[in-house]
Amino acid sequence: MRDLVEIGMGRTARRAYELDDIEIIPSRRTRSSKDVSTAWQIDAYRFDIPLITHPTDAIVSPGTAVAVGELGGLGVLNAEGLWARHANVEEALFRLVEATEDTDDPGAPVRILQELHSAPVRLDLVAAAIKEVRDSGVTVAVRVSPQRAAELTPDLLAAGVEILVVQGTIISAEHVLRDGEPLNLKSFIADLEVPVIAGGVGDYRTAMHLMRTGAAGVIVGYGFTPGVTTTDAVLGIGVPMATAIADAAAARRDYLDETGGRYVHVIADGGALTSGDIAKSIACGADAVMLGEPLASATEAPAQGLYWTAASAHPSVPRSFVSPGVDQEVDLRTLLFGPSVDPRGVTNLFGSLRRAMAKTGYSDLKEFQKVGLTIRG
């Protein structure tokens, strides 16, 4: 039975939990970290670590997408971002960095992002960015919004995209347009020969709807980062991530039974700032995590430590701050695999996941999804 709480006469709300509200319970056994695998596979593509980058220009350039891929994760380019609109992205990012240093005008960074994203998407620039990633030999993944998926996807596939990410703040199986035909994800995905990851969602029913479209993966969450994303403040919409991941995992299980064996991956996008959060996301049922701000401190991140989500550039309803720059004192390899001298869980992110799995006695990610959980307090 769902944990319902009465918030007023005739009105109830479901109690839900954030990652900070839960802890992992050790089991009766442990094992060596050397005997643990963090590998996962979506469709024909195998990855050494369950990492997908949040598709923001703050952390993903063509070069960093290559670096992430070479380290075993999946870097996702934004096909509607700065590399798709401007030939000199370094100059655009420099303007943004300068704007964050102007404390007399805190709204300047968002205005600059809105201005930069008002330039048209240039398919030649998108193709050049994709080619750089493709030529390196790593898996090519690109994000499009539901609004422009039908328009841009043919050219993206022609350029060599291998995994398509259709991502918005909130996504449904059918995106209704005021004028023209709606984007029906089921027919859209059926016509493609590449796997599609779609999201974000925050509940069982919407996750199930997306799974039934034929998506290979479903993104759970809206990329929430405290102090950066403001979807809850602007739209009143929030997703307690521990509950949302568990609900989507339940939908995955039921869909597996419904289809006689079709497995859809659950990707947690939001709330994971430390290695412990990554471990708890997997423990709640995620197959992989989509990381944003934790990667901003890597020396390879193009925005010099700044972080924002794509929603920051919305022309009328921005839902993300441009966070102040963090020190970029660690390379991406060290950030992901250590060694670390920082005890806060912000470095050696996936080495720590491996250690958490070993300390609780689980040898792979699918097993670790069965680990015991407890609620604080």
d(Cα 99, Cα 60) in Å, to the nearest integer?
Answer: 20
Quote the pLDDT of residue 191: 93
CA 159 vs CA 44, 77, 142: distances in Å: 19, 13, 11
- SS3 category, 320: strand
Tell how strand 141-144 and strand 265-270 pair up.
Answer: unpaired
Chain CA centroid to CA 253, Å: 21
* 38-57 residue pLDDT tens: 999 999 999 999 999 999 99
d(Cα 281, Cα 143) in Å, to the nearest integer?
Answer: 22
* CA 255, 256, 257, 259 torsion-angle sign: positive
Nearest to residue 139, comparing CAs of 53, 81, 66?
66
Confidence at 178, pLDDT banded by 50, 70, 90: very low
Quote the pLDDT of residue 226: 80
Top mean pLDDT of 185-189, 199-203, 235-239, 274-278 is at: 274-278
Is the pLDDT at 179 greater than 70? The verdict is no
Quote the pLDDT of residue 1: 46
User: Which stretches within 39-148 are classed as H helix?
Assistant: 62-70, 89-100, 108-116, 123-136
d(Cα 82, Cα 125) in Å, to the nearest integer?
Answer: 10
Is the pLDDT at 314 greater than 60? The verdict is yes
Confidence at 61, pLDDT banded by 50, 70, 90: very high
Is the pLDDT at 159 greater than 70? The verdict is yes
Residue listed under structure tokens 């006695």 = 361
Nearest to residue 133, comparing CAs of 64, 59, 57, 47?
64
Q: Please state, for a pLDDT cut of 90, what percent of the chain lies above it.
A: 78
- SS3 category, 1: coil
- Token code pair at residue 278: 């990554």
pLDDT (average), residues 319-341: 90
Helix (H) or strand (E) holding 270: strand 265-270
Average pLDDT, the chain: 92
**Of how many residues is the chain composed?**
377
* 69-109 residue pLDDT tens: 999 999 999 999 999 999 999 999 999 999 998 778 889 99
Is the pLDDT at 169 greater than 70? The verdict is no
pLDDT (average), residues 142-171: 92
Residue 215 in contact with residue 262, Cβ under 8 Å?
Answer: no
User: Which stretches within the chain are classed as H helix?
Assistant: 62-70, 89-100, 108-116, 123-136, 149-159, 185-190, 204-211, 231-235, 241-259, 275-283, 332-337, 349-359, 365-368
Residue 274 in contact with residue 346, Cβ under 8 Å?
Answer: yes
Q: CB neighbours (10 Å) of residue 253? A: 12
* 241-270 residue pLDDT tens: 999 999 999 999 999 999 999 999 999 999
- Look at 13-22, 32-41, 217-226 and tell me which has the smallest mean pLDDT: 217-226
Residue 162 in contact with residue 194, Cβ under 8 Å?
Answer: yes
- SS3 category, 55: coil
Q: What is the dihedral of CA 310, 315, 320, 323, to 10 degrees?
A: 90
Q: CB neighbours (10 Å) of residue 132? A: 17
Give the angle subtended at the CA of 283 by the CAs of 277 and 288, to the nearest 5°: 70
- Token code pair at residue 5: 């709480």
